Amino acid sequence: MIAVPWKVVGALALVLAGFGSAWQFQDWRYGQQLAEQDRLSAETLNQLAVVGATAQQAEQDKRIALEQKLVASDKTHFEKMTNAQNDQARLRDRLATADVRLSVLIAADSAGGCSVSAATGAGGVDHAAVRARLDPAHAQRIVAITDTGDRGLIALQACQDYVRSVSR
């Protein structure tokens, strides 16, 4: 049997104890670094979450404001359309009851060859102009055409307002 010198065993035990304590020290030090990294990472994630929530709230506020503007615009468009329809209906009713008659200006040189009854009105805008009254059926068709045109213009204005409000 070989005799083991106790000094070698003692030195080996000291070396192993040193490695073990160095290992423990490194473990403690890296553990602290990892904990610090975890804390910093958590803080960064929390800050990003706060920034994201703030941005989301701002976008939601913008969307709500835009929806309110669109509702107001839609209400205005509806009121304009209703008013135009009511005005046209009143005009059609007045034309139907002969309360109002539509007339057109006739050029002075063509009045002689025209078979339409020419009537000058003292209450008209045109002074001393020769005017011809339109048949009520023709007047109704003209009012219907202008009604369609008015509706188209109101719808176009509503579309333009919508595009302006969305593009801002």
3-state SS, one letter per residue, for the chain:
CCCCCHHHHHHHHHHHHHHHHHHHHHHHHHHHHHHHHHHHHHHHHHHHHHHHHHHHHHHHHHHHHHHHHHHHHHHHHHHHHHHHHHHHHHHHHHHHCCCCCCEEECCCCCCCCCCCCEECCCCCCCCCCCEEECCHHHHHHHHHHHHHHHHHHHHHHHHHHHHHHHHC
pLDDT digits (tens, 9 = 90+) for 150-166: 889 988 988 888 888 77
pLDDT digits (tens, 9 = 90+) for 10-66: 888 888 888 888 888 888 888 888 889 999 999 999 999 999 999 999 999 999 998
In this prediction, residue 16 carries a pLDDT of 83
As a whole number, the mean pLDDT across the chain is 81
**Would the pLDDT of 109 be above 70?**
no
**Would the pLDDT of 126 be above 90?**
no
In this prediction, residue 30 carries a pLDDT of 86
Name the residue with higher pLDDT: 42 or 122: 42
- Whole-model pTM: value is 0.50
In this prediction, residue 127 carries a pLDDT of 56
pLDDT (average), residues 102-111: 67
pLDDT (average), residues 87-115: 72
pLDDT digits (tens, 9 = 90+) for 55-96: 999 999 999 998 898 899 889 989 998 998 898 888 888 877
